[in-house]
């Protein structure tokens, strides 16, 4: 009985093995729990880290003060004259056609004016009649003046003949003015060039009836192309930088790429309220007559702006419903959506005229999901992004 109880009781060595096995199992369980806790902690950190967007930033580059402004322009002749008839008549002959170069006073056309001719003849005849009456009235007035001094006639009678003489003198003066007017009308039957230029339009044919004054159609259009006027509209941002006598390069695509040097002759000194632009005139010498008015021109002005503009990559812009924005990162690495005003577009870069400062950090290629006040991580731009800046 005693021997059986001894056999059933485990030995000391077996107990130690059992204890050791329990300790190993407990250690393995603790290690597994600790590993899972560490993995969960790392997952939480990764999740938190990935929840904050990482952005690359770049500083804006100041635009140069002196910059060339290219604008489209319209070329016009130095002056244009629409030649009208000053007397009514029929076209008897014309001497020049379109493209003809004419000198000041050169005959352009002749008109046949029978009505004016007859009126002039009638006016001259009437003047001769009134001159004869004036001569007779003077003789009569002188005679009665002598008789009045001798007391042979009343002084009132002498005064009446003197008044008649003076009226006849006034009548002759009126006749002379009328004849002079009709003579001018007669002389206007010859259409002459008002200045040196080129005939750009001819609107008459032999036998056609033309009316005097601007109520009828013009007979010729003469253009003076010894100099040309180039008109451009300068935007409001650069209007203050335009001044008289500043040089301008004018390029005409029709005549090759070599620019023609001109000077700013005058400006409107007021902005167009509809376009907010300053009408500017540039004078170009055309003494060799190689250029013609009416062509399209590209005008380049070297302007010095008083404003502080910046050049930034085009991929920094955000087009939102509330307007154009760029994403800035403040000192606490929070996003601020800044409103900006766009200037010139250079393709890969753009000019910002308002909204930026020197110390701003602009987000490159911002996501459309960025919002005001969002926390971000900041990294510098890579080399490719740096190369995009001018």
The verdict on 298 and 313 lying in the same domain is no
pTM for this entry: 0.58
The verdict on 242 and 320 lying in the same domain is no
- Does residue 262 contact residue 110 with C-beta atoms inside 8 Å? no
The verdict on 285 and 322 lying in the same domain is no
> Is 278 within the bounds of a domain?
yes
Q: Residue 82: phi, psi to the nearest 5?
A: -95, 115
- Does residue 328 contact residue 362 with C-beta atoms inside 8 Å? yes
> Is 199 within the bounds of a domain?
no
Last residue of a domain, one of 304, 324, 342: 304
Distance CA 277, CA 267 (A): 11
Neighbours of 304 (CB within 10 A): 13
Confidence at residue 3, expressed as pLDDT on a 0 to 100 scale: 47
| 375 contacts: CB under 8 Å, gap ≥ 6 | 52, 333, 334, 335
> Is 187 within the bounds of a domain?
yes
The verdict on 315 and 371 lying in the same domain is yes
The verdict on 259 and 351 lying in the same domain is no
- Does residue 246 contact residue 264 with C-beta atoms inside 8 Å? yes
Q: What is the CA radius of gyration of the chain?
A: 49
With CA atoms as reference, report the closest residue to 55 among 275, 322, 285, 385. 385
> Is 209 within the bounds of a domain?
no
Confidence at residue 223, expressed as pLDDT on a 0 to 100 scale: 93
Q: What is the tally of structural domains in the chain?
A: 4
Q: Give the CATH number, domain containing residue 271.
A: 2.40.30.170
The verdict on 59 and 43 lying in the same domain is no
> Is 22 within the bounds of a domain?
yes
Confidence at residue 102, expressed as pLDDT on a 0 to 100 scale: 93
CA angle 185/187/191 to nearest 5° reads: 105
> Is 3 within the bounds of a domain?
no
Query: Is residue 231 within a helix (H) or strand (E), and if so which, with residue range?
Result: strand 220-235
The verdict on 108 and 179 lying in the same domain is yes
Structural domain boundaries enclosing 19: 11-51
Distance CA 157, CA 149 (A): 12
Last residue of a domain, one of 249, 283, 304: 304
User: pLDDT tens track of the chain, all 390 residues?
Assistant: 444 444 455 566 777 777 777 777 777 667 777 777 666 666 655 555 556 788 888 888 887 776 778 899 999 999 998 999 888 899 999 999 998 999 999 999 999 999 888 999 999 999 999 999 999 999 999 998 998 888 888 889 888 989 999 999 999 999 999 999 999 989 999 999 999 999 999 999 999 998 887 666 889 999 999 899 999 999 887 888 888 998 998 888 776 667 888 899 999 999 999 999 999 999 998 887 777 888 888 899 887 766 678 889 999 999 888 889 999 998 888 989 999 988 878 888 988 888 888 888 999 988 888 888 888 888 866 544 444 454
> Is 274 within the bounds of a domain?
yes
The verdict on 289 and 330 lying in the same domain is no
The verdict on 231 and 182 lying in the same domain is no
The verdict on 15 and 92 lying in the same domain is no
Strands in 236-383 per DSSP E: 247-252, 260-271, 277-285, 296-304, 310-313, 317-320, 323-329, 335-339, 341-345, 349-354, 362-363, 376-379
> Is 147 within the bounds of a domain?
yes
The verdict on 111 and 184 lying in the same domain is yes
Q: Give the CATH number, domain containing residue 330.
A: 2.40.420.20
The verdict on 299 and 336 lying in the same domain is no
Q: How many helices (H) and strands (E) does the chain have?
A: 6, 22
DSSP, collapsed to helix, strand or coil, labels residue 378 as strand
Distance CA 333, CA 327 (A): 11
């Amino acid at each position: 009985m005693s021997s059986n109880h001894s056999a059933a009781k485990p030995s000391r060595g077996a107990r130690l093995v059992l204890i050791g096995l329990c300790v190993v199992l407990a250690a393995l369980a603790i290690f597994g729990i600790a590993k899972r806790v560490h993995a969960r902690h790392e997952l939480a950190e990764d999740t938190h880290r990935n929840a904050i967007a990482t952005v690359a930033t770049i500083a804006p580059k100041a635009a140069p003060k002196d910059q060339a402004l290219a604008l489209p322009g319209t070329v016009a002749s130095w002056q244009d004259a629409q030649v009208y008839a000053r007397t009514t008549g029929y076209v008897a002959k014309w001497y020049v056609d379109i493209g003809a170069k004419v000198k000041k006073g050169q005959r352009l056309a002749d008109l046949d004016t029978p009505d004016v001719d007859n009126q002039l003849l009638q006016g001259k005849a009437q003047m001769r009649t009134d001159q004869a009456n004036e001569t007779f009235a003077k003789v009569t007035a002188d005679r009665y003046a002598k008789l009045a001094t001798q007391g042979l006639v009343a002084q009132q009678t002498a005064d009446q003949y003197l008044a008649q003489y003076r009226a006849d003198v006034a009548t002759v003066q009126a006749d002379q003015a009328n004849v002079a007017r009709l003579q001018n009308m007669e002389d206007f039957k010859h259409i002459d060039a008002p200045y040196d230029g080129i005939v750009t339009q001819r609107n008459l044919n032999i036998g056609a009836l033309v009316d005097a004054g601007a109520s009828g159609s013009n007979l010729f259009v003469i253009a003076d192309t010894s100099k040309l006027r180039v008109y451009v509209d300068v935007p409001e941002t650069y209007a203050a930088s335009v001044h008289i006598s500043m040089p301008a390069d004018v390029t005409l695509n029709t005549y090759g790429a070599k620019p023609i040097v001109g000077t700013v002759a005058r400006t409107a000194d007021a902005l167009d309220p509809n376009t907010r632009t300053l009408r500017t005139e540039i004078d170009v010498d055309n003494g060799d007559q190689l250029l013609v008015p009416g062509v399209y021109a590209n005008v380049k002005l070297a302007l010095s702006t008083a404003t502080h503009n910046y050049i930034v990559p085009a991929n920094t812009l955000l087009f939102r419903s509330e307007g154009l924005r760029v994403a800035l990162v403040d000192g606490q690495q929070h996003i601020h959506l800044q409103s900006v005003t766009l200037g010139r577009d250079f393709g890969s870069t753009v000019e910002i005229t308002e909204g930026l400062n020197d110390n701003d950090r602009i987000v490159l290629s911002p996501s459309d999901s960025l919002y005001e006040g969002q926390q971000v991580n900041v990294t510098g731009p890579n080399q490719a992004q740096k190369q995009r800046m001018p």
